[in-house]
Structure 1
Amino acid sequence: MSGVSLRCGDCGTLLKSVEEAQEHAELTSHSNFAESTEPVLNLVCSSCGKPCRSKTESDLHTKRTGHTEFADKTSEVTKPINLESPNTSIPSPMDVDAAATAQSQDMVVPEVDQKVLEELEGMGFSKARATRALHFSGTPGLEGAVNWIVEHENDADIDQMPMVPASSTNEPPKPSLTEEEKKMKFLELRERARKKKEEEERRLEREKEKERIRIGKELLEAKRIEEDNERKRLIAFRKAQKEEERRALERIRQKVEEDKAERRRKLGLPAEVPAAAKPSEPIVEEKKMGLPVKPITKVEQMRECLRSLKKNHKDEEARVKKAFQTLFTYAGNVVKNPDEEKFRKVRLSNQAFQDRVGGLKGGIEFLELCGFEKTEDGEFLFMPREKVDIAVLNSAGKELQSAIENPHFGVL
């Protein structure tokens, strides 16, 4: 299969033509190119029509705009690559005629007015360029030659000595310009070149400004899409959290009903019917208060305490996270070593404790919910051995771990 692209051996970039390879070489100084059978992709965005040359470009476009659908039109434009660099110069009719005549006649340098030639050389033009201008300008004198040079200064053969058949007649001498006219023509030529350069710079600047505006719009659109997606994710997260809380309450309610039914069965009482249950509502409520629901209530108090701590210090995220980690350590040490008094006693005046927990509103309250109590002299937080509740401490650890790992904790 013939090659359809050129691959840069230095960076792996695929290029569609020799011209692109030359531009790539000028920009990067890479020179190792090889013919490749892998075509340059032509992925067109179905939403905005933007073409992408590679999967990387299409991924970047998707990230900026959110557009994900692309039409692969690579096969429509793929064709064998021409490794011959095209000749961009267009020969003038006079060059064509001269080339055709040169096949049958000897070619010589045309005769031109030597005085005008010297004047052009004095203005800074090469002899070949000046001779070519005098021969092909078609008008006599220095002015026509200078105008011809301005119009043809981008020709590829501008500095090649023209050749004509030996039998061609020389043009009659052309009048020369005065020194003042030479100076004026030189200034005019320089002014034209300056204006042309300024116009090209303005054109390039306009194109750059359009590109900057386009990129800015794409970035703003990508930012807006990202914010919308983040808002949707947050709403979905809140909805899922509320649904989970609802299911947890429903499980607790079902557990309470099952416990009631089990106790009635053990006591030999008949199953409770709705009509008989209504008069005994105060008793049922009293039994509810005696069921092991208190840990759940304490867990909610712990969660609310941690949320308040984070909201009260929302501008000190690093310090809040450090406080959560310290509280997690305190609870974990008591769970692992319930008989060690040193893990159940915290000095309130300790500077490290004040920096990490005591100085934050809600830190000491959370420890009190875990079972710590202030001593009479107010110097320590102490948890008596008989008041160590492993279940409560484990619940506190779970809440702290959730607060540490959940980036949205305290903002919902």
Structure 2
Amino acid sequence: MGFPQARAMRALYYSGNSSLDDALNWIVEHENDADIDELPLVDVDIEIESSEPFPVSEEIKRAEQLRDENRKRKEEEEKKLQREREKERIQAGKNLLEAKRIAEQNERKRNLALRKAEKEQEKRAREKVRQKLEQDKLNRRSMLGGNPQESHAAVNSSAIRVQEERNSKPVYKVAKTDHLSNCLRSLKRNHKGEDARVRRAFQTLLIYVGNVVKNPNEEKYRKIRLSNPVFQDRVGSLKGGVEFLELCGFERVGEFLCLPHEKVDTEVLKSAGSALNTAITNPFFGLLST
């Protein structure tokens, strides 16, 4: 019937060697046993060879049919399990792609919001400086005994002239201001995660620039030793620090950064100071490229 000899002997022994049907039923019930094909550890002498044809009863046919059905059922269950796993894998891939798309979309929205906030902050800062300058002019005129209304009108007229002069500035002045701001943005991005160190560098640069503006004739304010430990710690060791001073007019002369007196450009230095103030006070400065 196709059974291994050890299994047949085991079935005959444990079924009491009573009948073929009992032995077949035992095999069907125990076919998943780990030791199903091991000989029983007993002394038996069973003659299993016979020259006569073995009759196949209905019980044997049912046992074989049951075994085939069990095998087919297991195969179908395995195929179904494999299909379900494949569906889960495909769905997991789709979920991952969707999550990635949503994350990228949110990142774009965040970048746009940060850029808008940075521009608004810079606009408010410029407007605040403009208003303060106008108020200072008005106060000075009032102290000199002028009519406040006339002074205000004069301030407005002056503001218009300033705006006209600003619009008529050479292109290289505007480009220089943009280079200064871009240099500070690059410095902040190059040292991302070091906010305290970057802020200290901006403050130190503001001191250098302010000293030259206030004392353009003092050589000590226009000369910086590159090997100075304080300078190296606060500015020189940061990528973009020395470049910013060079944009302000400083030149490398041996182991010094020097700003020749004849090359002191007050407007450029004031633009540098304004860019540094914005970089220090604007929390969104440098987060995005312009």
Task: Decide which of 196, 201, 204 is 1:332's aligned counterpart.
Answer: 204
SS in 2 for 1:344: strand
SS in 2 for 1:125: helix
Partner of 1:409: 287
Task: Decide which of 93, 96, 102 is 1:219's aligned counterpart.
Answer: 96
Q: d(CA) in 2 for partners of 1:220 and 1:212?
A: 13
Query: How many residues are treated as equivalent by the alignment?
Result: 234
Task: Decide which of 361, 372, 382 is 2:258's aligned counterpart.
Answer: 382
Instruction: Please tell me the residue identity of whatever aligns with 1:345.
Output: R
Q: Is the 8 A contact 1:372 1:383 kept in 2?
A: yes
Q: How many angstroms does 1:344 deviate by?
A: 0.8
Q: Could you list the runs of 5+ residues in structure 1 that have no partner in the other structure?
A: 1-118, 135-140, 160-175, 291-296, 311-316
Partner of 2:148: 271
TM-score, structure 2 as length reference: 0.51
Instruction: Please tell me the residue identity of whatever aligns with 2:113.
Output: A
**Cα 1:335–1:275, aligned 2, differ >3 Å: closer, same or farther?**
closer
Q: d(CA) in 2 for partners of 1:327 and 1:321?
A: 11
Q: What are the within-5 Å matches in structure 2 for residues 77-156 of structure 1?
A: 122=8, 124-125=10-11, 127-128=13-14, 130=15, 142=21, 146=24, 150=28
CA deviation map 1:95-136 (0-9, x unaligned)? xxxxxxxxxxxxxxxxxxxxxxxx9952653744x46996xx
Partner of 2:191: 321
SS in 1 for 2:191: helix
1:344 is aligned to 2:221: no
The structure with the largest strand share of the pair is 1
**Cα 1:132–1:234, aligned 2, differ >3 Å: closer, same or farther?**
farther
Q: d(CA) in 2 for partners of 1:408 and 1:330?
A: 12
**Cα 1:201–1:132, aligned 2, differ >3 Å: closer, same or farther?**
farther
Q: How many angstroms does 1:245 deviate by?
A: 1.9
CA deviation map 1:172-228 (0-9, x unaligned)? xxxx985798xxx99999877665544333232222222222322222222222222
**Cα 1:411–1:154, aligned 2, differ >3 Å: closer, same or farther?**
farther
Task: Decide which of 84, 87, 90 is 1:210's aligned counterpart.
Answer: 87
Task: Decide which of 305, 312, 315 is 2:183's aligned counterpart.
Answer: 305
Task: Decide which of 132, 146, 155 is 1:255's aligned counterpart.
Answer: 132
Partner of 1:69: none
Identity %: 38
Q: Is the 8 A contact 2:138 2:148 kept in 1?
A: yes
Instruction: Please tell me the residue identity of whatever aligns with 1:382.
Output: C
Instruction: Please tell me the residue identity of whatever aligns with 1:409.
Output: L
Q: Is the 8 A contact 1:302 1:369 kept in 2?
A: yes
CA deviation map 1:281-337 (0-9, x unaligned)? 4796259979xxxxxx88765212344679xxxxxx7xx339x9699659739959x
CA deviation map 1:229-276 (0-9, x unaligned)? 222222221222222122222212322331232123123222346996
**Cα 1:400–1:373, aligned 2, differ >3 Å: closer, same or farther?**
farther
Instruction: Please tell me the residue identity of whatever aligns with 1:346.
Output: L
SS in 2 for 1:265: helix
RMSD (Å), alpha carbons:
6.1
Q: Is the 8 A contact 1:328 1:397 kept in 2?
A: no
**Cα 1:207–1:124, aligned 2, differ >3 Å: closer, same or farther?**
farther
Q: What are the within-5 Å matches in structure 2 for residues 337-376 of structure 1?
A: 344-346=224-226, 365-370=243-248, 372-375=250-253
Q: d(CA) in 2 for partners of 1:203 and 1:231?
A: 42
Instruction: Please tell me the residue identity of whatever aligns with 1:411.
Output: S
Partner of 1:199: 76
**Cα 1:410–1:383, aligned 2, differ >3 Å: closer, same or farther?**
farther
CA deviation map 1:25-80 (0-9, x unaligned)? xxxxxxxxxxxxxxxxxxxxxxxxxxxxxxxxxxxxxxxxxxxxxxxxxxxxxxxx
**Cα 1:154–1:206, aligned 2, differ >3 Å: closer, same or farther?**
farther
Q: Is the 8 A contact 2:185 2:286 kept in 1?
A: no
Partner of 1:238: 115
Task: Decide which of 76, 83, 106 is 1:229's aligned counterpart.
Answer: 106
Q: d(CA) in 1 for partners of 2:257 and 2:18?
A: 102
The structure with the largest helix share of the pair is 2
Q: Is the 8 A contact 2:115 2:288 kept in 1?
A: no
Q: d(CA) in 1 for partners of 2:27 and 2:83?
A: 29
